Structure 1
């Protein structure tokens, strides 16, 4: 598994069955990727660690009480499909909404959801076009700068909701830019897959 085993990730104790479900998902990504470009060719060689494990590390930081979870710009399902798969065993009453405006990618996501029997649905619209969702948890990976993501979070989170965003090595700069527009509390968690990257856990978003 390219040096990573989900069972060894801090805060995640998944069953072998869940790992097998994620392997099935990995196979589906590899099957569909040449047609609809779910992940870059360069990253496909490290699909398990770079996308699946990188997405899975978010799971321990989702509050247990978060029942309605929103993943925007889901693309190939990172992190939404991965989180929904782990939740199947560990948080069985959790529901996911995956927002993906690309119709081909949305079709792929629906196929994965059916294949793995996940508690998830796909909205094939742009996030700007959706009615307020009132989610408990909001995430997005490689979609937009933090300042833009906080606009979406304000629109679609309930007042007590939290956001978790994986960010690359420019995460501190993104925080500074976002603080020009918003006040928010955040926790900075170092990524387990890239020492230069971080996971931002954010709540209490208010306009400046």
Structure 2
């Protein structure tokens, strides 16, 4: 069963300034290195910013670190970092995208963001309170990364499209987990999976 996403996250004036700076920089860089494809800029707030903002209420309480795997244009990692002061780690192997992430973090004033310019398999991260990834890989692969990095009580927060249930079915052959499903506010066919108590299936 899907739950409604928690109430919309209202951003402060300071956060709005950060997000506006992000969009301005994204507009300058996207034509050069194709960070998010050729979508019209007037759609970016709803399609990308609000898509990240809806994850903020799902973050666990506390100051534990969060990582965004395969961060790309910083979605949703930089959006989360604009809203919360806890440590945010962005993992991205593409050096050009890392250059954008560094510039964006600087212009947004996000000194609590750390960028890891390497493949996920080679990254070294602290035990995470939460991990996110958007449009990166099938769920069973994401769960392998999450299990490696999450603290024992950590959460995985993965937006998924219309294949969410099929991916969950495939993943349960390999993983035990508790799953909550939330209906996305930004895409009619999308589901946000909140996963806890993740552990591999032991095959005798």
Q: Which has the higher contact order (CA 8 A, sep 6+)?
A: 2
CA–CA distance in structure 1, aligned partners of residues 24 and 7 of structure 2: 25
Change in 2 beyond 3 A, CA 1:66/1:196? farther
Normalised TM-score (structure 1): 0.90
Is 1:196 the counterpart of 2:193? The answer is: no
CA–CA distance in structure 2, aligned partners of residues 66 and 139 of structure 1: 16
Aligned residue for 1:28?
Answer: 25
Give how far 1:45 is off.
Answer: 4.4
Give how far 1:132 is off.
Answer: 5.0
CA–CA distance in structure 1, aligned partners of residues 39 and 9 of structure 2: 28
Q: 1:143 aligns with which of 136, 154, 157?
A: 136
CA–CA distance in structure 2, aligned partners of residues 66 and 153 of structure 1: 18
Give how far 1:95 is off.
Answer: 0.4
The number of residues matched between the two structures is 195
Is 1:117 the counterpart of 2:109? The answer is: yes
Aligned residue for 2:153?
Answer: 160
CA–CA distance in structure 1, aligned partners of residues 10 and 43 of structure 2: 22
CA contact (8 A) 2:160 2:192 kept: yes
Give how far 1:181 is off.
Answer: 0.7
CA–CA distance in structure 2, aligned partners of residues 163 and 43 of structure 1: 30
| Over 6 Å off, 4+ runs | none
Q: 1:127 aligns with which of 120, 123, 136?
A: 120
Q: 1:104 aligns with which of 96, 120, 126?
A: 96
Unaligned runs of 5+ in 2: 1-5
- Which residues of 2 match residues 38-53 of structure 1 at below 5 A? 38-42=35-39, 44-53=41-50
Give how far 1:10 is off.
Answer: 1.8
Give how far 1:43 is off.
Answer: 5.8
Aligned residue for 2:3?
Answer: none
Normalised TM-score (structure 2): 0.91
Unaligned runs of 5+ in 1: 1-8
With 132-141 and 46-55 compared, the bigger mean Cα shift is at: 132-141
